[in-house]
A and B are shown apart, each in its own frame.
Chain A
């Protein structure tokens, strides 16, 4: 697995207290009960610490899936290719 994918997976497991077997990269916000408003803040801070990218608050709230995170970070030049 690509190093950035590993980092993102590890971060999201931690932020949302997920079990490893529950995680996949197609997860949507609606699949994760702990993806609440405070979880969004925590995720945004975690992404900044891990990838150095700062989400604007409205951008963070608009994220609806793990794919959305990858898409935004890819646009900023962070590679998630397999």
Chain B
């Protein structure tokens, strides 16, 4: 199995370009390959053992990604090259990508979303992929967007607050004609801003998960209401809500196996696989996401969804925020809201207003903390794991308990 190493986005663009050349060559080979982002903060004994197992089980025609997933815990996902290419065709058709001439990266290639929606698509359809350091270098990213004709970008919702911070009002990227969001909640509250920033773009909400590698639904977003419900499953994909609200899928494009701390596990033919999200039906073959499996929990007997709280919060707080869970003295779990930067008194009142008007007290956070910057994982999602122990936090509000 060939191991291809990619530097963190902001570190060395030349190495990324070289990595992409290596990937292009390795993809053509029969031998399986694995993409690893450096520095890979994984236990080397686990990695070597897992790699040996994957190599023995899937020696040809496969690719594997070492990902941090949405939790920060390392996970190795194994897919079939031919399946990923088939999915690129489906995405191409669903988003009418024939008119797209270039694609500009803003996320690591070890992230299945960026790999499939951008690199594999560009490889299959022969369109240039222009790597950037993403929003780690906002000026470079913006310049690339300005000079890349009829381009497509793939973003995650948490990057919108960074764009608001870096780009002054009136800044526009008219060359971008397709904007994708995935990897979490679609930033519905920012839709007007996004329309202004990308005035010629069609904007899409893409739902999936690492095990789906990665796409299950695609929905074009015209109005805020569109964002609340996922698009219908892609051709061949099936979804259903299992007991407890867990959203499961079966997909002809999905992963063959996944390896984590528990070991390597292959998916059986026709096996229903959890997406990691909690969902509910929103009509025939339509689904609404209630939250990540680890973002929906019971508190004082009420079902708390951090996604629902976050959606409401976005109406008044346009900058960064994230949650982490904390066990309280009585053994119950509560959520801590972390905002960045520190809110003014007026802004804090706006946040209070959301909780008072929309949520009963069990849904209120245990605390509201502020930091200068929310730490993010390489895939652009808030690093919930490190939030709890982050230094320099200020408690701006707390519940007496």
Chain A contacts to B: CB under 8 angstroms: 14-15, 17-19, 33-34, 36, 38-39, 41-46, 49
Q: Are A38 and B362 in contact (CB under 8 A)?
A: yes
Q: Are A19 and B400 in contact (CB under 8 A)?
A: no
Q: Are B356 and A42 in contact (CB under 8 A)?
A: no
Interface size (B, Cβ < 8 Å)?
A: 15
Q: Are B401 and A42 in contact (CB under 8 A)?
A: yes
B167 beta carbon closer than 8 Å to chain A: no
Candidates B300, B355, B400; contact of A17 at CB < 8 Å: B355
Nearest-neighbour CB distance to chain B for A73, whole angstroms, equals: 16
B352 beta carbon closer than 8 Å to chain A: yes
Q: Are A38 and B397 in contact (CB under 8 A)?
A: no
Closest 8 CB pairs of A and B: A46-B400, A45-B400, A17-B352, A38-B361, A42-B400, A17-B356, A42-B399, A19-B349
Chain B hits for A43, CB < 8 A? 400
Q: Are A39 and B361 in contact (CB under 8 A)?
A: yes
How far does the alpha carbon of A18 sit from the alpha carbon of B360 in the complex, in Å?
A: 14
Q: Per DSSP, are chain A's interface residues mostly helix, strand or loop, or mixed? A: helix
With A34-B361, A36-B361 known, 11 other A-B pairs at CB within 8 A are A14-B397, A15-B400, A17-B352, A19-B352, A34-B356, A38-B300, A38-B361, A38-B362, A45-B400, A46-B400, A49-B400
Q: Mark B368-401, 1 if CB is under 8 A from A, else 0.
A: 0000000000000000000000000000011111
How far does the alpha carbon of A62 sit from the alpha carbon of B356 in the complex, in Å?
A: 23
Q: Which residue of A lies closest to B356 (CB)?
A: A17
Q: Are A36 and B400 in contact (CB under 8 A)?
A: no
Chain A hits for B364, CB < 8 A? 17
Chain A hits for B360, CB < 8 A? 36
Nearest-neighbour CB distance to chain B for A27, whole angstroms, equals: 15
Candidates B353, B361, B362, B401; contact of A45 at CB < 8 Å: B401
Chain A hits for B398, CB < 8 A? 14
Chain A hits for B397, CB < 8 A? 14
How far does the alpha carbon of A38 sit from the alpha carbon of B302 in the complex, in Å?
A: 13
Chain A hits for B361, CB < 8 A? 34, 36, 38-39, 42
What are 23 contact pairs spanning A and B, CB under 8 A? A14-B398, A15-B399, A15-B400, A17-B355, A17-B364, A19-B349, A19-B352, A19-B353, A33-B356, A34-B356, A36-B360, A36-B361, A38-B361, A41-B401, A42-B361, A42-B399, A42-B400, A43-B400, A44-B400, A45-B400, A45-B401, A46-B400, A49-B400
Nearest-neighbour CB distance to chain A for B334, whole angstroms, equals: 12
Chain A hits for B349, CB < 8 A? 19
